[in-house]
Structure 1
């Protein structure tokens, strides 16, 4: 008779006899060192190697996308807008008449005051809202548009598009509106997201009907309802559309050879839009003596 062969032991735990093995590499493994797979079971090293071999998922802008993306930037922007509104309501001792607060007076966009060097109004005004209805309308639009745009572009690029849309809206108001007109609201940045979402859908060959209908409805409201800042909406829409186009189309037109180069070109495009918006504001801001 032949002597009985000893049972194989786990390759990671030599003191543990086992009758199991990795179906990928064949190494004997104990139950603790095996992970169920689509076919059979894999050892620790094979699982790690499989993760490294999987190509990362990239969004439309070319950056690596997490497996469970959460629109944290959108939630943060909504939180900041709500917080600023709460501060103005507290200062004014009124939710409906919060524009009487000191912060509102110091931040609302008045072109003539911007021309006299009060540059904080260019950005600060985009976080102010005239009463809760104005706030809710803008935050609902941000809630609808923001997550889609954030996941498609990536958090950093999404925030940059939001920022240049804000600057574009403020630039248009500063240069083209009545110098003594006061305006406030996130509408310029949100209209920029309308344009960005349309560009993303166009780039990914999706049906544009729904987003275009929403945009047209909002433009009709912009031109028909008194008191709405037309130039903020149009300036933000233009800046956001051009910035998103620079991210998604310019690298393709320039035949960028790598994802890193494509992302660099996109960042340059967004920066150019932002610089133009700031230059228009600085050079075109009116002054009253």
Structure 2
């Protein structure tokens, strides 16, 4: 006579109960419906069919396609942190703190600050002495605390969403190209003015948002209204660099359009590698054109100055 629950006498007594593959000290009668390995309740998760072990779930997540934005940036779960935007705000604040400490004032920090003197965008000195650090450095300087606060608030509001759509590296590239675009416009159109501020980059992000909305087939009218209002303010209030704003807007919009539209119109196809490569090549072209405009402006200024 035999007992099916304990095995037959010929088999040498009761059979050992299976044990969890992740916890060998835990006997279990459960198993993963995907790989069939025994697993304890702690290592199993409900699935549409049966239950899957945590190892199978992890493997499925690794093999699943990564959700991406229209720019190819990975979609981050939860509440993603716009790291680059916060770093840029911190850098602007840090540079302002240095100029304020050097000048001993938060309202007239441009006076008596060696850093401000070395980085402010003044076209004649760039043309005459080749101080090209001013083309980028001026985008991190601000005339007083109010100027800084307005630009940093705008960067915080506009930059966060733009960074999440473009991705960190693309976003930073668009930001820097926007600064150069604003500097290029000043070099061409405001040759006698001393300018500084992140507003050229902020306008570049507005241009980026307009292109993103077009790519999503939504109206860019709200962004264009903000730009139009700021153009009116720039014209009516003295001391605001209209061309720095417009140059940043055009450069930022062109850089973003290169990322979002160039792969489609240049026949990159469905290959993600080709799409990414084409987008970066197009963005690099925008950057090179911006630098070419700066070179032409420098040559023109040198001719005017007789250098």
Query: Alignment RMSD, CA only?
Result: 1.9
* Match in the other structure for 1:91: 102
Flag the 1:39–1:146 CA change in 2: closer, same or farther, 3 A: farther
* Match in the other structure for 1:9: 18
What's the CA shift for 1:152?
Answer: 0.6
Count residues with an aligned counterpart: 288
Flag the 1:7–1:30 CA change in 2: closer, same or farther, 3 A: farther
Equivalences for 1:149-188 in 2 at 5 Å?
A: 149-177=162-190, 179-188=191-200
1:48 equivalent in alignment to 2:58: yes
In structure 2, which of residues 146, 154, 157 is the aligned counterpart of residue 144 of structure 1?
157
SS at match of 2:37: coil
What's the CA shift for 1:2?
Answer: 3.2
- Asked if 2 retains the 8 angstrom alpha-carbon contact of 1:165 and 1:189, the reply is yes
In 1, the alpha carbon distance for the partners of 2:58 and 2:225 equals 47
* Match in the other structure for 1:277: 290
Q: Could you list the structure 1 runs, at least 4 aligned residues long, displaced by more than 6 angstroms after superposition.
A: none
TM-score, normalised via structure 1 length: 0.93
Equivalences for 1:250-289 in 2 at 5 Å?
A: 250-257=262-269, 258-285=271-298, 286-287=301-302, 288=305
Equivalences for 1:100-139 in 2 at 5 Å?
A: 100=111, 101-116=113-128, 117-139=130-152
- Asked if 2 retains the 8 angstrom alpha-carbon contact of 1:192 and 1:237, the reply is yes
Once the two structures are superposed, residues 66-108 of structure 1 have per-residue CA deviations (whole angstroms, 9 ceiling, x without a partner) of 3343211100000000000000010110010001112111111
Q: Which moved more, 1:199-208 or 1:153-162?
A: 199-208
- Asked if 2 retains the 8 angstrom alpha-carbon contact of 1:9 and 1:15, the reply is no
What's the CA shift for 1:253?
Answer: 1.0
SS at match of 1:42: strand
In 2, the alpha carbon distance for the partners of 1:228 and 1:135 equals 14
SS at match of 1:264: helix
What's the CA shift for 1:22?
Answer: 2.2
What's the CA shift for 1:11?
Answer: 4.8
Q: Larger C-alpha radius of gyration, 1 or 2?
A: 2
- Asked if 1 retains the 8 angstrom alpha-carbon contact of 2:73 and 2:165, the reply is no
- Asked if 1 retains the 8 angstrom alpha-carbon contact of 2:258 and 2:286, the reply is no
- Asked if 1 retains the 8 angstrom alpha-carbon contact of 2:151 and 2:198, the reply is yes
1:70 equivalent in alignment to 2:78: no
In 1, the alpha carbon distance for the partners of 2:280 and 2:195 equals 30
Unaligned regions of 5+ residues in structure 2, if any?
7-14
1:244 equivalent in alignment to 2:256: yes
In 2, the alpha carbon distance for the partners of 1:133 and 1:246 equals 34
Structure possessing the higher relative contact order (Cα contacts under 8 Å, 6 or more residues apart): 1
SS at match of 2:110: helix
What's the CA shift for 1:221?
Answer: 1.6
Flag the 1:35–1:140 CA change in 2: closer, same or farther, 3 A: same
In 2, the alpha carbon distance for the partners of 1:222 and 1:40 equals 65
Flag the 1:38–1:102 CA change in 2: closer, same or farther, 3 A: farther
TM-score, normalised via structure 2 length: 0.87
* Match in the other structure for 1:228: 240
In 2, the alpha carbon distance for the partners of 1:191 and 1:275 equals 20
What's the CA shift for 1:21?
Answer: 2.4
